[in-house]
Each structure stands twice: as structure tokens, then as C-alpha cells.
Structure 1
Amino acid sequence: MNTTNNHINYIEFKANNLDKTKAFYSKAFNWTFTDYGPNYTAFEDSGVSGGFEKTDDTITNGALIVLHHNNLETIKQNIIDLGGTIAVDIFSFPGGKRFQFLDPSGNELAVWCEADE
């Protein structure tokens, strides 16, 4: 995956049923999927990398735009200094770590970086 600081790098959606979601996008648009456990699947062949996270909640705004930055602590502090709010603090996942924030208008986005070697 080509990663450039401050670029949109990944789009994450919510899904109530991953099997139905995968079948729909696979048949409708020829996307391919890689499962990461029972609650997450990543998609390819869509023009941008992304994934679906399983949720039992009602989906109101199911898209999460994910930016890339090499230094999460630096960009996190910059977001706070500029009036953003941290919605989900830094956490690790297979292959990296990320956090989620709200911009001054209330839009939720995420920033990720690769796992430390």
C-alpha cells in the first residue's frame, strides 16, 4: 500500500451482516475481500482500499475516512491544537495503529500508521 502523509488512504464502512455485504459488493462490482477475524473484512479492486466493520448498531453514517501519517502523536496533538476532539484514542490493530477524531464540524475521521518494526 502506498502511504503518503496527509492523504486519504483508506475508507471504512459499517455493516450489520458481513456475509451479505461481501456478496453484494462482490457480485455488483467485482470487489475481492480479505477477512480479518469475524468482525472485519477488507476490500480491494474498488479504486481505493477499504473495509467493513461488523456492528449491531443502527448505521447512520457508516463511512469512516482514514488518513495516513507517520507520526500519530504529532498529528494527534496538531488536531487537538486546531480544535479537533479525539473520539477514539490510539490503539493497535494487525499491521498498524490508529486513532479517530472529530473535526470542528463533528465529522469523524481516523489517522493510521504502520506497526513499529
Structure 2
Amino acid sequence: MPSHETINYVEFAARDLEATKAFFNRAFGWTFDDYGPDYCAFSGRGLDGGFYRADMAATTANGSALVVLYSDDLEATLNKVSTSGGQINKAIYSFPGGRRFHFIEPSGNEFAVWGQALEQ
């Protein structure tokens, strides 16, 4: 049951729904429910959401909010993103509290993945 006045769902534009679905399935194991030819939804991935067909894309360069995923193995996740068709636009870097990288999925949306700092 959704909680009152909390973030419940997120939606993204997607130029190519099929390529976006295939990418997230290969890279992260996401599955989708199609609602007609122009919308698909995902659930059980930390926050439910969907992709709708549109020519726009969300990137931090154009002021978009950044959705950040978590990984227990940042290098392995970066490899899966790369081999699944994602474009790495910021290589792994450290920040206070951990490390992360950014990527662009096939429809042009930017996401990031973070992980714990390497133990010294």
C-alpha cells in the first residue's frame, strides 16, 4: 500500500521504448508490463515507474533530477551497463560516502549507479 505523501512512482520519456526495455532487462534484470504501444511500466526495483514514448530525454545537463541506482559491485555493474548498450558519460569517481558512475540509456536518459567506497 502506498504511503501518504511519499514519492510513489517515477516516469521517463523514451524515444525508443523497445531499446530502453531491452537495455534495462539485460543490464539490470528489469521486466516490463506494456500498456499499449506507447507506455511500459516496471515495478519492484526500489521505486515503481514507467517509460512513455516521447522525443525528450532527461539529463543533468538540462536540469533533470538524477535517478541513482545502487550496486554491491560497481565495476561489474558498469561492465553490464556498457555491454548492454549504455553509454558511460562519467566514469567511476569517488565522492564523500562512496563511488559512482553515470550512464545514458538508449533513449537518452541519464542515470547513475553508486556503491560503497573501496576498503583501504
- TM-score, structure 1 as length reference: 0.49
Structure with the bigger percentage of strand: 1
